[in-house]
Structure 1
């Protein structure tokens, strides 16, 4: 069951992954908290979706009494959270593109006079 993890365990896992790719910084904790909540919510919705039969489309009767086939609202929420997951993972350097972007920003950082002097020694 994917939802057996707690919010704290997701945060720990995210921090561990960030440390492995050397992108962790305490200043990112608010973003990490939000990302952990999104992962938690995503897994909760996936569990609920699977328990309900995993139907991508469902019948919906509108206020006029007409029945139509619509995309399952649970599935729509899952799709939105998937997009959010990728966005946050990218921002934290947990995707190849995000990691490359963060590494480029670190390399472009101007060196201090001390760094310059030390690199020449």
Structure 2
């Protein structure tokens, strides 16, 4: 079982990744905070799932089986993480749809951007 990084570590790494991709702005920090919390919860629950022997079904009172609550929670967190990673441009599909800002603009690009 891998050690779960802290929420702050996840947040810091997310910001570093976004800066590397050229999509970070300080205004996104609230979204990054929520995203970091979701990733932390997911990793923590995934560790619990692993410790529990990956029990994906539980018995019902009627004698049947149903999906384990931890599995349902992990699935929900995955969907939420995917939605936030899209908004923060942290996956290949979402990064295709944005124009990133790079500090090294050509002279022509700099002149053209000033003409607006």
Aligned length: 106
1:37 aligns with 2:13: no
Q: Can you give the 5+ residue segments of structure 1 that lack an aligned partner in the other structure?
A: 107-112
User: What's the Cα RMSD here?
Assistant: 2.0
Displacement of 1:60 in angstroms is: 2.0
Q: Can you give the 5+ residue segments of structure 2 that lack an aligned partner in the other structure?
A: 102-111
C-alpha contact (below 8 Å) 1:7/1:36 kept by paired residues? yes
Larger Rg over CA atoms? 1
Greater helix proportion: 1
The TM-score with structure 1 as length reference comes to 0.79
- 4+ residue runs over 6 A deviation: none
1:81 aligns with 2:77: yes
1:14 alignment partner in structure 2: 14
**Greater RCO (Cα-Cα under 8 Å, separation 6 or more):** 2
